Amino acid sequence: MKKISVSFLSSKNVPMDLRKIDETDADYVHVDVMDGKFVSNKTMPFSEMRHIHKYTSKRLEVHLMVKEPSKFIPLYAELNTEYIIFHIETEEDIIKNLEMIKSYSIKTGLAINPETPIKELIPYLPYLDEVLVMSVVPGAGGQSFIMESVERIKELRALIDSYKFPIMINVDGGINNNTKDYCREADILAAGSYVVLAADFQEKISSLR
Ligand code: DX5
Ligand code: ZN
């Protein structure tokens, strides 16, 4: 059964939706962090995000869509965080940042944009607990799943299996009860608008597993 990570990026009322996610069997809350530089949108500052524990006791999967992950990793490491994920397209030293995440005993992840070749992940595989395959161009919720992602997920699965690394594959963007069938090789699905814009969160989460 797949794990489900719920993104509240498209929520109209974040505290209320976090409480609603808390009542479901979702595995993680997917926290999208945007700095207005790596992507043009900007999400709430950490000073607001640090209060998330008041609304959810779920473990967090933090997705940093930021130019300088090294500035954000120590902040998000303070929360109830299971994974910190940043982008392979960032210009900082990737291994240094993965080691920084590990120094907090938090699981590591690299996110990869639709146009970045999967093979670029190879040097980092020994350091990774998760790869987040972007099935949309990052920056906004509610976009459509890019069909080319299907082959990329398969390529990544074959790559991970060939090296026998225990790395989880997560797919992020445009996930719903139709596109989930394109992600058979994934271990986790990150879903946003499909869940949080619905009346019954649990029903939507169950339809993804
Ligand atoms: C996109 C974000 C995704 C997004 C998912 O930049 O990283 O996590 O919020 O939302 P949906 O499921 O609406 O595509
Ligand atoms: Zn995300």
CA 111 to CA 121: how far, in whole Å? 10
pLDDT value for 39: 98
Q: Where are the beta strands (DSSP E) in the chain?
A: 3-7, 28-34, 59-65, 81-87, 107-112, 130-134, 168-172, 188-191
Ligand 1 nearest atom to the CA of residue 175, by list position: 12
Ligand 1 nearest atom to the CA of residue 174, by list position: 14
Q: What are the catalytic residues?
A: 32, 172
Residue identifier of the C-alpha nearest atom 4 of ligand 1: 141
Q: Is 85 in the pocket of ligand 1 (CB under 6 A)?
A: no
pLDDT value for 91: 97
pLDDT value for 197: 98
pTM: 0.98
Ligand 1 nearest atom to the CA of residue 140, by list position: 6
In the chain, the domains with their CATH numbers are 3-208 (3.20.20.70)
What the block records as the tokens of 42 is 């900007």
Mean pLDDT for each consecutive 10-residue tract of the chain (209 residues)?
A: 97 97 98 98 97 97 98 98 99 98 98 98 98 98 98 98 97 98 98 98 98
Q: Is 136 in the pocket of ligand 1 (CB under 6 A)?
A: yes
Q: Is 41 in the pocket of ligand 1 (CB under 6 A)?
A: no
Ligand in closest contact with the CA of 189: 1
Are 87 and 113 in contact, with CB atoms under 8 Å apart? yes
Taking the alpha carbons of 149, 143, 48, 72 in that order, is the dihedral positive or negative?
positive
By most ligand atoms within 8 Å of CB, the mutation choice from 4, 6, 8, 9 for ligand 1 is 9
